[in-house]
Amino acid sequence: MLLSDRVLFLDGEALVIDKPAGLPVDAPRDGSLSIENHLDLLRFGFKRWPLPVHRLDRDTSGCLLLARNPKAHGRFTRAFENREVEKQYLAIIDGVPADDGGTIDLPLAKTSTAEAGWRMVVDPAGKPSISHWEKLAVADGRALLRFRPETGRTHQLRVHAIEGLGFPLAGDPVYGRGGAKGRTLLHAERLVVSRDVKPPIIAEAPFPEAFAAMGFQPPEGAAPTRG
């Protein structure tokens, strides 16, 4: 697997790759591979390694933004913090919501126990968390959804799916019925970052093969499945 073959956007200050599912952004404690192991091949002529600006869960595939210099990293980080980044995700959930779309507004907080480890929960005293969603298709008792999160809390869409819609993301081993070897079916489909002088960063990741294997086709206007 060469991440240099999965570039969706590239210019002098930004790089967007289609991160494969199963590859973590941060180096795991067990010493297994992460994005860090691929940074040298993503320099594309620069002396510095590019640096990830945000995080995607290990299982989540799709658009990951990296900055090619420290100044750009700072600007992009502030854009995420100020909710100036347009993010769009595809997800398959284990069930079919009655409505065709809506908004989930549930604050989230982190909790931890010795028995179950840590997870995110709905908590009135937690951080504001807002996700807009629409139902795109139904197949075999599952639904393909498009999420447009306003905020970027840890595990936001995973918790909003189960707590806001009543159905977990398919394959989710923490909040759903997925096993230890399952994959949470969440995909960062589109990323748009506005810039003051330069044209905006616009990246769209191909429809995942894992989603097609569940009986779904790329929605209208989406990038086709990666060959």
- Give the pLDDT of residue 1: 67
Q: Which pLDDT tens digit goes with each residue over 81-135?
A: 999 999 999 999 999 999 999 999 999 999 987 776 889 999 999 999 999 999 9
Alpha carbon distance 139, 53 (integer Å): 35
Q: 169 phi and psi, to 5 degrees? A: -65, 140
| Among the four given CATH numbers 3.90.110.10, 3.40.50.300, 3.30.2350.10, 3.50.50.60, the one describing domain 3-212 | 3.30.2350.10
- Give the pLDDT of residue 138: 98
Domain layout of the chain by residue ranges: 3-212
Alpha carbon distance 117, 173 (integer Å): 13
> In the predicted model, what is the mean pLDDT of residues 164-193?
90
Any idea which residues carry the catalytic annotation?
A: 57
Residue 180 has pLDDT above 60, yes or no: no
Taking the CA atoms of 154, 145, 188 and 29 in sequence, report the sign of the dihedral they define. Answer: positive
Q: What is the mean pLDDT of the chain?
A: 93
What Cα–Cα distance (Å) separates residue 197 from each residue in 79, 167, 168, 200, 201? Answer: 14, 42, 41, 9, 12
> In the predicted model, what is the mean pLDDT of residues 203-209?
96
Per the CB < 8 A criterion, the answer to whether 62 and 56 are in contact is yes
Alpha carbon distance 11, 30 (integer Å): 34
Q: Which pLDDT tens digit goes with each residue over 35-62?
A: 999 899 899 999 999 999 999 999 999 9
- Give the pLDDT of residue 101: 98
Per the CB < 8 A criterion, the answer to whether 55 and 16 are in contact is no
Q: Which pLDDT tens digit goes with each residue over 23-42?
A: 999 988 887 899 999 899 89
**Chain centre to alpha carbon of residue 215:** 21
- Give the pLDDT of residue 226: 67
211 or 220: which leads in pLDDT: 211
Question: Is this prediction's pTM over 0.95?
Answer: no
